[in-house]
Amino acid sequence: MELTLSTLPKTWLFDIDGTLVKHNGYKEGGDVLLPGVAGFFSKLPPEDAVILLTARPEASREETEQFLQKNGIRYDKILFGLPTGERILVNDDKPTGLSMGHAVRKDRDAPLSIDVRIDSAL
């Protein structure tokens, strides 16, 4: 998947299970980071915000945060206890025509593969 984005700072929203780590790994002996995740996160500019979303219960916060920190996955906020249904991003486009809402779907437990191209003309 390739995203062509502007030079503006971004907000990234990531589900945890099946997107960043093996789905329900925390229930089956411990989380396992999926291929591509560490590399992708290492390239995120520091001015970008990262918000993690999960249906995991609040009781799993400490274990989850320790795993993420140990694996160098930075984030600004984590929301626990979310519903297990669809996640919908709704955002308005800029009057210039810049598209401000993007969605990336991936197969559960597949490697994270997002190529970001920055276009200074946007």
First to last CA, the chain: 19
Does any domain span residue 13? yes
Range of the domain at 27: 2-115
Does any domain span residue 28? yes
Mean pLDDT, rounded, for 66-86: 97
Single pTM value for the model? 0.94
SS3 category, 30? coil
Does any domain span residue 48? yes
The domain total for the chain is 1
CATH number of the domain bearing residue 13? 3.40.50
User: Residues 7-20: pLDDT tens digits?
Assistant: 999 999 999 999 99
Does any domain span residue 122? no
User: Residues 83-111: pLDDT tens digits?
Assistant: 999 999 999 999 999 999 999 999 999 99
